[in-house]
Amino acid sequence: MDLGLKGKSVLVLASSKGLGKAIAQEFVREGARVMITSRDALALQTVAREMREVSGEVQAQPCDITKLTDIKELVEKTVSAFGTIDILVNNCGGPRAGNFDDLDDQAWQEAFELTLLSYIRSIREVLPYMRKNGGGKIVNIASISIKQPLDRLLLSNTLRAGVNGLSKSLSQELAKDNILINTVGPGKFATDRVIEIDQQQAERKKMTIEDLQNAAQAAIPLGRYGDPQEFAKTVVFLASDANTYITGQALIVDGGLTKAL
Ligand SMILES: NC(=O)c1ccc[n+]([C@@H]2O[C@H](COP(=O)([O-])OP(=O)(O)OC[C@H]3O[C@@H](n4cnc5c(N)ncnc54)[C@H](OP(=O)(O)O)[C@@H]3O)[C@@H](O)[C@H]2O)c1
């Protein structure tokens, strides 16, 4: 199947490591021109160099996605490098863990700015380019928590539902502009974020991280954590020319972990 991604201009938020990096890498393999971002300028340069060994069309721009000025500058830099933006992938760092009693107003505010307001702002900034092009694709990365709440991840359980609601609503508004928008929810992929959460849980439960991860993998019908590349392929398909009729959907990529219909 030809994904039609050669030469497409792609912006992937929060892409110096983990799922965001895997998504950017997959676009690069398909011949797209890709802008990667995160707060860490040095890490970004290293990742960009690594990716340029596959394709020359990778740019890197430091950006804190909780800051409107940074997002505006990121979009401007992408457009000045590639001429336009065809595809936007919204991704972010994970909100902190905790139950209701652990979270004050500041924690809620910060998580809102990180996981939801950043997506709203980046969509607002890229829409004029997509409209001018006569169409575009937006993919919002959320979490399995949009289907089934996760233990001690109250911020994710609440705010990712907002991402899904935003995505569904925009699919209705943007269809007339030929802009397709979907949400993808990861289950458990072996990234720094998941290893950190596993480590915290193992300490709380007084288990070794190996025992905790063995039990976690046994609970996944496919019997293992996913490889970030497996997640990235789904995102890239939804963002590609091969997807002409899927919009407003929330797709879970979790090896069968979620039990909800
Ligand atoms: N991995 C999974 O299985 C899984 C499951 C469910 C949900 N998720 C969600 O999917 C997203 C990605 O997960 P991941 O596992 O790939 O996380 P990760 O390995 O921790 O990577 C997070 C990325 O976000 C960047 N980032 C964090 N805060 C940022 C900010 N304010 N501005 C710009 N960039 C920022 C990080 O770079 P810097 O820190 O250098 O800025 C890094 O590139 C997270 O929201 C996570 O909660 C992941």
Q: Tell me, what's the pLDDT at 243?
A: 98
Q: Tell me, what's the pLDDT at 108?
A: 98
Output the residue whose Cα is nearest ligand 1's atom 26.
Answer: 93
- Measured in Å, residue 106 CA sits from the centre of ligand 1 at 20
Q: Tell me, what's the pLDDT at 226?
A: 98
**Diameter of the chain by CA atoms?**
56
Output the residue whose Cα is nearest ligand 1's atom 7.
Answer: 143
Of 210, 20, 247, nearest in space to 136 by CA: 247
Q: Tell me, what's the pLDDT at 158?
A: 98
CB 192, CB 227: distance < 8 Å: no
Q: Tell me, what's the pLDDT at 56?
A: 73
Pairing mode, if any, of strands 58-62 and 9-12? unpaired
Query: Domains plus CATH for the chain?
Result: 9-187+229-252 (3.40.50.720), 190-225 (no CATH)
Q: Any alpha helices (H) in 53-102, and if so which ranges?
A: 68-82
Backbone angles phi, psi at 173, to 5 degrees: -70, -35
Q: Tell me, what's the pLDDT at 14?
A: 98
Question: Within the chain, which residues score under 70 in pLDDT?
Answer: none
Q: Tell me, what's the pLDDT at 55?
A: 79
| Token pair in block for residue 126 | 């890229």
- Distinct helix (H) and strand (E) counts, the chain: 9, 7
d(CA 32, CA 56): 10
- Measured in Å, residue 56 CA sits from the centre of ligand 1 at 25
Q: Could you tell which of 25, 38, 194, 235 is best to mutate to test the pocket of ligand 1, judged by most ligand atoms within 8 Å of the CB?
A: 38
d(CA 33, CA 42): 20
* Order of strands, sheet of 87-90, starting from the edge strand that comes earlier in the sequence: 58-62, 33-38, 9-12, 87-90, 136-141, 179-186, 250-253
Q: Tell me, what's the pLDDT at 221?
A: 98
What is the radius of gyration, based on Cα positions, of the chain?
A: 18
d(CA 82, CA 36): 13
Q: How many whole angstroms from its chain centre is CA 157? A: 16
92 CB near ligand 1 (under 6 Å): yes
DSSP assignment, residue 147?
T
CB 167, CB 247: distance < 8 Å: no
Distances (CA, A) of 9 to 136, 232, 252: 10, 17, 25
Beta strands in 91-247 (DSSP E): 136-141, 179-186
Q: How many whole angstroms from its chain centre is CA 97? A: 18
Atom of ligand 1 nearest to the CA of 22: 16
| Token pair in block for residue 133 | 């092009």
- For 88-124, what is each residue's pLDDT tens digit? 999 999 999 999 999 999 999 999 999 999 999 999 9
